[in-house]
Structure 1
Amino acid sequence: MRGHDLINTFLPDELMVEIFGHLATKSSRDACSLVCRRWLRLERLSRSTLRIGASASPDIFLHLLPSRFSNLRNLHIDERLSIPLPLSLPVPPRRRPLKVHCVANNTSSAETNPDSLCLSDAGLAALGEGLPRLERLSLIWCSNVSSDGLKSLAYKCTFLKSLDLQGCFIGDQGLAAIGQCCKQLEDLNLRFCEGLTDSGFTEFALGVGKSMKSLGVAACAKITDVSMEAVGSYCRSLETLTLDSEYIHDKGVHAVAQGCPHLKVLKLQCVNLTDDALKSVGAACLSLELLALYSFQRFTDKGLRAIGKGCKKLKNLTLIDCYYLTDKGLEAIATGCKELTHLEVNGCHNIGTIGLESIGKSCKCNHGVDLSYVYESFKMHRHLTELALLYCQRIGNIGLLKVGQGCKFLQALHLVDCSGIGDEAICSIAKGCRSLKKLHIRRCYEIGTKGIIAVGEHCNLLTDLSIRFCDRVGDEALIAVSEGCNLQYLNVSGCHLVGDAGVIAIARGCPQLCYLDVSVLPKLGDMAMVELGENCPLLKEIVLSHSRQITDVGLAHLVKSCTMLESCHMVYCSGITSAGVATVVSSCPNIKKVLVEKWKVSQRTKRRAGSVIAYLCVDL
């Protein structure tokens, strides 16, 4: 009934909190909190997760948080984010807002005490006092936090399950206190924690070893093999380990492999590891499912053979800049790891066509049988679903031909700077991998219109297509794709042969399009913008940069119906003026980012939407 607030009259607080808890996006929650004071209070009660910046007197934030968000369980504090206090924590009406430069005791300003703009031990202590049931805490680059603050937090937040201390200069005493008090801790991330040594880490592992499941250590110069031996001795339930260090050797990884039989995820970027480390992993970590090896210079195919021989449950393998690996190592993986579903080979210059052929042959299923048999085979055996080949100059068409013939369930293919791969390979993929949903190609100059036409004809499930700087792809390719696929994501940046005809076909054939990058297309003009505006109402992001034939007229037609547009990049578009920029800002109620040259933004546009304007080159 008009004039009556039925919701606030009849719905109890408990039901309102339950409703707010089911809102999917932060923007929806924020909108509800602005309705009235009651909704603001109840919406705060429903929030279990909050992300804030640790600048502009963060200690004040943490003193206010418990009273306003009493049910917080997950808190992310990032000193790289700069959010003024009045925007992050709305001040109730009739109350004077706190000044951004104030500190907790109001005795000094930011000008006289720059540290007041950073999270301190006092703020961390207040957090522990106010939110003792906190479960997940991230402190990102909070450099003023020390062991004292971490100790006070540990004594109060004994239910802590996850802790991220990236860039925090905490010492051994603080980490040891976490180990002594937080017996439910499962996840710890230490990155750029230069104040830690083996002594503090060992005490920590002794305290929470039984509960630890995930550990990340990166760029901690004083954490060595001694700490990894402590992990192997006390963290028997560890499932995920990420190591990035030049101070950890085979001895440390061997200790972890022997002591953590339940290890499922292992990511290593340790330049001093050799084949012996991978042999230990292959012999002891029989439950390993994901292995990522980065920049390995001292191990060869022998290590990868050990993985193929022992890690039969391996599903995901990433090899980046492993220069001494050859086709034989990849063959060992193909032969031994029958459950492999994701493979990335990046910058491994000695892996070539033969290695990829072995992958294609290994997942090949029997053909010429009924679909029910194929379906049962898929349930019984894992098949390759995602393949990424980046900077693989020695892989030719035949390798992908075998993948197309064997990997019938491939859903995602990424190709970057693979000069030996051309249309023949893409045609084989298109005809054999009918389940393909994502195809990303960049700077593969032998791939042209013929290959992409085959994709459009055969891969009807494709929703994500990116063909960047492939200068042999023209309009005919996009026309075929528009007829066979319903794209949601399209990137044809730098495909110089693509013009209005191809983009118009996409606009008419793909009404679900949400993202479009048509930058660096010299033939693209206003007609394509008109069609996009008329046929793609769901478009949220568009990149038009370096498209010199697009003018204010085309831009006006685009934004007329694309009311959901959130991001528009249009730098170096000589046909777009300040009037076009103003049109985008005024016509798109959901706009969040407009990237443009500074001189094209009028003073009126700055006043109206300065917060959404971004400048690529501020001096232009």
Structure 2
Amino acid sequence: MQKLASYSGEGLFSSLGHHTEVYALPCKRSRISAPFVFNEEVYTKQKTTIEVLPDECLFEIFRRVDGNQERSSCASVSKRWLMLLSTIHKDEISQTSNQKSTVQDPGHLSRSLEGKKATDIRLAAIAVGAASRGGLGKLSIRGNNSARGVTNFGLKAVARGCPSLTCLSLWNLSSVSDDGLVEIANECHNLEKLDLCKMSGISNKSLIAIANNCPNLTELSIELCPNIGDEGLQVIGQKCSNLKSVSLKNCPLLGDQGVASLLSSTSRSLTKLKLHGINISDMLVAVIGHYGLAITDLSLTGLCKVTEKGFWVMGHGQGLQKLKLLTVNSCFGLTDVGIEAIGKGCPNLKQFSIHKCAFLSDNGLFSFAKSAVSLENVLLEECHRVTQCGIFSMLVNQDTKLKSLALKNCLGFKDLNFNSPSSRCNTLKTLSVNNCPGFGNGSLMLIGQLCPELQHVELTGLHGITDNGFTPLIESCEAGLVKVNISGCINITDNTVCEMTKLHGGTLKVLNLNGCRSVTDASMVSIASNCLLLNELDVSECAITDFGVSVLARAVQLNLNVLSLSGCRLVSDKCLMFLLKIGGSLVGLNLQNCHGISNSSVGQLVDRLWNCDILS
């Protein structure tokens, strides 16, 4: 076969690029014979080439080539040879050739094609070459290449050449239809994970083929596929008994019937379910509550037709006994009544995230926390009827196991005066409050009294927080603060930072002061003197000067890995030598918008701090 390749009329298939999956043979220079004289007549030798053979003959030759590697080498000769080889089905390869091929096909390789690289030619090269290199196991294709993107031909090549395929992800391939995916289903019986996104040409026909031929399917994700409906989902549920994870997002033809059938058929295997923007009603949510026997992770987003009754029935269905993670986003049917029922019906729930649920109030939150005895993590975002009263009622619950509390963009908070708590929450370790304008000093002081074991504190964008509120919190934390982020708290000054480093310098590892404009070099002096374990420091847009940087450089015990001085307008080229000294341990340095540091100084830092990523 090597001789055949050397006589080819076309050169090596160079257009595949450096990442081609085929082996290339050295290109022989074709021999050109000069005219010779015989009986004073000039004759020219005719050049012989295998390319004169029709495709049918070449096909018969290629299917008799010995071994996967040899076929891969033939594919390097020309596009024509590559395309012919990619059409050969494994059953069409001669038995003798199969016996001589010693390479196994367990499916170790993983390949990803995106944008302009997503073409049929590259898929054909992968399909032919993968067999000689261990077999293709995972394939991800993300288009859309409008000029020469992936079509059914490319998928069929993969199906014929990669029977070991277990994971397939197809995104935004407008030229792919059911024909290509059905071929995958017919040939790749070991398929375990299928991800379809923006595949307008795929319908129920493909899902039915997958269900009938791929019994090992465990993960299915369908997003923005307008032609996939209930029928395909029903067959998947009936035939794929090992299904563990299902994600359905924004598919207009999917509704109660398909999802309910899927749930009832996979009630003992399905552990993760995500429904986003699906046209379902209270009936389907009730089915989840009854048949979700194995579900541990449930996410419900944008279910406009689900009412309070649906969530109430779901909670009372007694089927979600194993549920540990629950996310509800933009579901107006989640009210106080519904959330209380969920708390009672999900005894093992540990993490609950609630986003944009406008009718949830303090009463429901308190009842939920009281019922959900295993609850450890709570996130509330844009729940504007929830106030500090609801939050504090969760914390004073004697049976609480709450470890983490996060509040984002909640406008219902008002910084009122509260009585000192009679009990404490010794389990809460992490507090995060982001952009909640009514959360001020009073709330923060009460949190400090309630939660003495805090270690991770994130208070961002809270203009109402001052030293008077933050200092008592610092003094109340008995366990020792480890991570503190007070970015955007513009009224925090050096007093808070100095007090924090004195009390918690032995435990503090991460400190973010981004945007604290009143923080100056005095804080850097205190950090350098007291912090023993600090490895990440962000003082972006603070009033730090060259002196502050020099103080950090002189601190023998500091071993910073990440330092951000972004927007520090008072630092200049004079701090170059100090940055070089600090840079011995740095892996990240942010100097963006530091207009006092010249490009030449940045260049020196880049040249000498070769182990550090520098943003400028």
TM above 0.5, yes or no, is: yes
Task: State the alpha-carbon separation in 1 of the partners of residues 396 and 293 from structure 2.
Answer: 31
Can you list the C-alpha shifts for 1:37-93, whole angstroms capped at 9, x where unaligned? xxxxxxxx999574634234335554347258627645555459xxxxxxxxxxxxx
RMSD of aligned Cα (Å): 3.2
Q: Is 1:385 matched with 2:407?
A: no
TM-score by length of 1: 0.72
Q: Is 1:155 matched with 2:173?
A: no
> Which of 546, 555, 562 is 1:526 aligned to?
546
Alpha-carbon offset, residue 229 of structure 1: 2.1
Can you list the C-alpha shifts for 1:534-577, whole angstroms capped at 9, x where unaligned? 55875444433322112233255224442454444433322122
Matches within 5 A, 1:479-498: 479-483=498-502, 484-485=504-505, 486-498=507-519
Cα distance 1:166–1:412, how it changes in 2: closer, same or farther (>3 A)?
farther
Q: Is 1:317 matched with 2:352?
A: yes
Cα distance 1:411–1:120, how it changes in 2: closer, same or farther (>3 A)?
farther
Task: State the alpha-carbon separation in 2 of the partners of residues 508 and 128 from structure 1.
Answer: 64
Q: Given residue 525 of structure 1, which amino acid in structure 2 is its aligned partner? A: T
Single out whichever of 150-159 and 183-192 deviates more from structure 2: 150-159
Matches within 5 A, 1:81-480: 114-116=146-148, 118-169=149-200, 170-208=202-240, 210-236=241-267, 237-245=269-277, 247-269=279-301, 270-284=303-317, 285-287=319-321, 288-362=323-397, 364=398, 383-396=401-414, 405-430=423-448, 432-457=450-475, 458-480=477-499
Can you list the C-alpha shifts for 1:500-555, whole angstroms capped at 9, x where unaligned? 2213433454454443332222x111223234445587544443332211223325
Cα distance 1:153–1:404, how it changes in 2: closer, same or farther (>3 A)?
farther
Q: Given residue 410 of structure 2, which amino acid in structure 1 is its aligned partner? A: C
> Which of 547, 550, 553 is 2:568 aligned to?
547
Task: State the alpha-carbon separation in 2 of the partners of residues 503 and 516 from structure 1.
Answer: 10
Cα distance 1:313–1:70, how it changes in 2: closer, same or farther (>3 A)?
same
Q: Which residue of 2 aligns with 1:505?
A: 526
CA contact (8 A) 2:560 2:582 kept: no
CA contact (8 A) 1:455 1:481 kept: no
CA contact (8 A) 1:537 1:562 kept: no
Higher helix share: 1
Alpha-carbon offset, residue 313 of structure 1: 2.0
Task: State the alpha-carbon separation in 2 of the partners of residues 357 and 388 from structure 1.
Answer: 13
Task: State the alpha-carbon separation in 1 of the partners of residues 589 and 132 from structure 2.
Answer: 36
CA contact (8 A) 1:357 1:400 kept: no
Q: Which residue of 2 aligns with 1:95?
A: none
Q: Equivalent residue of 2:208, what SS?
A: helix
Cα distance 1:387–1:158, how it changes in 2: closer, same or farther (>3 A)?
same
Q: Equivalent residue of 1:280, what SS?
A: helix
Task: State the alpha-carbon separation in 1 of the partners of residues 258 and 287 from structure 2.
Answer: 10
Q: Given residue 246 of structure 2, which amino acid in structure 1 is its aligned partner? A: L
Structure 2 gaps of 5+ residues are: 1-104
TM-score by length of 2: 0.73
Cα distance 1:488–1:185, how it changes in 2: closer, same or farther (>3 A)?
farther
Task: State the alpha-carbon separation in 2 of the partners of residues 404 and 134 from structure 1.
Answer: 61
Task: State the alpha-carbon separation in 1 of the partners of residues 613 and 173 from structure 2.
Answer: 28
Q: Which residue of 2 aligns with 1:52?
A: 112
Structure 1 gaps of 5+ residues are: 1-44, 81-112, 366-381, 597-620
Cα distance 1:49–1:585, how it changes in 2: closer, same or farther (>3 A)?
farther
Can you list the C-alpha shifts for 1:332-368, whole angstroms capped at 9, x where unaligned? 2022111111111111111123322321122x26xxx
Cα distance 1:561–1:327, how it changes in 2: closer, same or farther (>3 A)?
closer
CA contact (8 A) 1:128 1:156 kept: yes
Alpha-carbon offset, residue 471 of structure 1: 1.8
Q: Equivalent residue of 2:237, what SS?
A: helix
Task: State the alpha-carbon separation in 2 of the partners of residues 564 and 497 from structure 1.
Answer: 28
Q: Which residue of 2 aligns with 1:370?
A: none
Calculate percent identity across the aligned residue pairs.
Answer: 27
